[in-house]
Amino acid sequence: MKMLHFIAFKLCWLVLIYWQYLLIVPVVLYWAFAMVRLHHKARLAVLLITLCGVLLDSLLIASGWLSFVGANMLPVWMIVLWACFALMLVQVLADMLRYKWLAALFGALGGPLAYWGGSALGGQLLYQPVLELSLVLALCWSSLLTIFVHYRFLWSKQDETTSFNAKAAGS
């Protein structure tokens, strides 16, 4: 099931990078459906991680490290992308990244690669200067993922989907 959640996130990432606003509604519907299926603590974790990611990117935009074509603030499609990443982090990565060093390594490599890949594929992100921005993103993402993984105990056993079995609800 975790592999299916990971594939769903990658599809959302591609759709939002390539078509930003054109296919945002199906992505938001997928996210909402997945959120309803999570335990309440996992839902709160997704919302908190989304907020942290949006604040991080907004801070990077305000400081001049990140910029998007035709926008001086974080685009809505990028906020939805953060929400999808947060969902995948809670559903998949929190249990896989049990060690802080592994989370830091994953963040240091995966964060800059995701931004660079999105920029290269036409995601409207201006990825300049490459080396300096990569280092800033590596530091930010490794810190962020280390913190998230440190607190994963708050939701990691709760991330299984809730049952919609009517018979179980009636018992």
Q: What mean pLDDT is predicted for residues 14-19?
A: 87
* Tokens 């929400």 belong to residue: 83
pLDDT tens, position by position, 68-92: 877 788 899 999 999 999 998 888 8
Which amino acid is present at 63? S
- This prediction's pTM: 0.81
167: pLDDT confidence band, cut at 50, 70 and 90? very low
Cα–Cα distances in Å, from 87 out to 106, 110, 113, 133, 146? 17, 16, 19, 25, 17
**CB contact set of 162 (below 8 Å; sequence gap of 6+):** 37, 38, 39
